Structure 1
Amino acid sequence: MANSLARNIALGAGIFLVSVTLGGGAALWDLAGVAAQAEQAPAAPPAVPASVALVEAKATTPSDEFSGRLEAIERVEIRSRVAGAVQAIHFREGALVKKDDLLVQIDPALYAAEVDRAQGQVSAARARLIFTRADYDRGQQLTTSSITQRDLDNRSNAFHEAEANLAAMEAALKTAQLNLSYTEVRAPVSGRVGKIEITVGNLIAAGPSSPLLTTLVSVNPIYASFNADEQVVSRALKTLADEKTPNEIERIPVHMTTVSDTSPIKGRMQFIDNQVDPRSGTVRVRAVFDNHDGRLMPGQFARLSMGQPKPEQTLLISERAVGTDQNKKFVMVVDGKDKAEYREVQLGASVDGMRIILGGLKAGERIVVNGLQRVRPGVTIKPEMVAMNSASLPQTKTASAN
């Protein structure tokens, strides 16, 4: 009995030791598994450093850009008013000329002779008038017994006929003098002459059949015509609704750049058409620019910037804060937890290197303005607050968001 009890106690102790050993091994295995899982779990990505600026509303004068062409205010086809042979050309092709400069000389000999003949006829008519006046005066001084009424009437008629004849001869002289002056073809306006279309020695006709000698276009000032969006024009005219001055549209700011000169040239709004083109939704607009040095030429391509007469409260952001995603424009908004959020925006006009935002942002929000190529939606940002000033930011390339 004692031996049986001892064996049971020994067996129980062995079973306990085996259980403890197995349990301890399982515990050790669980701890090792947890440690392995901890080593395999990825660490949290570091915050991406980026320059961040606050979106603010500011009073600006927004402008919109349009393509246009330069036009001469005056364009003249130079033709001769009289027939004759071309005697001399007094200009160089493409040269600047002043009003009344001599351009072409037509042979004046025939017209000078006409002037001499007309002058002779005027002298004869004047002498006839002097004689008939004196004869009529003598007749009036005679008594009724010395001259008949019929004779007096004849003298009066001769006098008045001589008076009318002198007037006709003087008119003919003026015509001859005008024709003689027309043999000198002069510039009707100041500007730039074109190609010589006819050379010395050629006979030319007068009137509508007269051949083209050259063309002349005015240079200073010069027009710039363009088609502006009807909404832009309507907004500008609405701002001027209370203005009653004749030149109210001159308050609309307009600037121009050309391919050869990228520096903005300030102009003056001169004309806004009275109707909208229903096919394009645009309005014909024309501005005038100073061109005293003649560097601008009619037909030249230009970029026109049309502004608004009064400042407006708008949201302005840096150009470098805007990314391109296919045909969309976007910015990266930094939320309250410093997380990057993809936000599509609608862009307006450019103002001094900044861009007007028409939709997609609100004042007070934060956006990434530098380092956009390193930022993806959802990442944590390490913001460095800077001013919303494109001039103080280094040049960076933006990347499309996924």
Structure 2
Amino acid sequence: MAPKVFLLFCLLPVCRVPLYAQDSVSHPVYSFSLNDVIRIAKDQNKRVKAAREDEKASAFDLQDAKDAVLPYLAADGNYQRYTKVTLFQNGLSDAHAISRPPDPNSASLVTQAGFLVYAGGRVRRNIEEKEIRSQLAVVNTGDEAGQTSTQAALLYLQIIGLYRQDSLVAEQIKRAELRVKNIRALYENERVTKSDLLRAEVDLSTQQLNREQTDNDITIAKDKLAIQLDLPGSPRIIITDTAVNLPGVAELPGEYTPEAPNTPYLLQKYGKLLLLQENRIDLIRSQYSPTVQLYSAYGLNYPNLNLFPPINQWWSAGFIGVMVHYDISSLYHTRNKMAAARQQYESLHLQRDYIADNVNEEIRSLTLKYRESLDRITVARKSIEQAAVNLRILSAKYYNQLALLTDLLDADNLYTESALRLVRAQTDAMGYYYRLLYATGRL
């Protein structure tokens, strides 16, 4: 097999898609190549946009975790005015009221500050967790972009194949119309029976219905492509690529290896999940450590309640200290948490190995199917040549009354089907190629 295979197949003329100036507002016109579709799908698809928003949110979460190392600062202020104090003598009888000493007013303004000195690495582990989750969000964005661009490319290739199929059916309709015209002339000259004419007319109607079905399939595929590209309104999409270049087998992406620059997205995700679980184990281990915090406060208060009786005086005081906290129950609570976290790590590691085996199997399968499509292309081209010769022979035999109409119609259908097999093989090959690019993390 040649190192690089170039296969070209033409679409119908672009002018087949009608363009109306008066519909340009409600039905905008877009012309896309295959590369344009892949690029726009990565930029404009709503799922990709949503993934980017999640990526931004994770970046803010990371910054919030980093802010946890900053000192804690707070300020509290209040003002109160008391009613008169009601005093009771002899139970609830003989009540009388006096003003609250030294006066009804009370106020305070307090500032507080705290700084975490040591927590066994819990703050650092929390920052690392947010960093890993931010990286995981980036991988998710790449995965969504790869999926949507692959789907858009497959839809684009499907539309190319449908246009080629439409062209083949149109050619078959022309042959069927000419055949009906010739058979009607033969029938009028009493050289063929009425059944031959009816059979030819039924075949023509069938091909016309087939073309209508193909046109509807093109419309549906374009609508799906417009959704993938998030195009506004009811767009008219024009396919500008009239040729598809198939890479050779030597140019196909290989299997996944840990040292490869591009790693499948699913394996990248499991790699980040393993890092998260390792960080979780370290975070649980940090619960064995005490927490040391510096803290202080300074307040301005009124009245002075430190003396008796209280006096009408503003007073202020402050302090600085060290607070040490140790959770003794962590000695027996943390043990099972640690064991569970380690088992979850082993489970994730086994899942990642399983996913890696499946990814490599999928890559091998897609490569085999790609090579099979190339072989099918070669066979289909030979079949087209053979079917064309067979159609010419049976057409000459029928008009010389040496063959049945059934044989002629079968030969015509065989020729069209051979051409359609070539189209399907070409589009399938490109579909396998782009699926390979996504499977290996290159799209």
| TM-score, normalization by structure 2 | 0.20
The structure with the larger Rg is 1
Greater strand share, structure number: 1
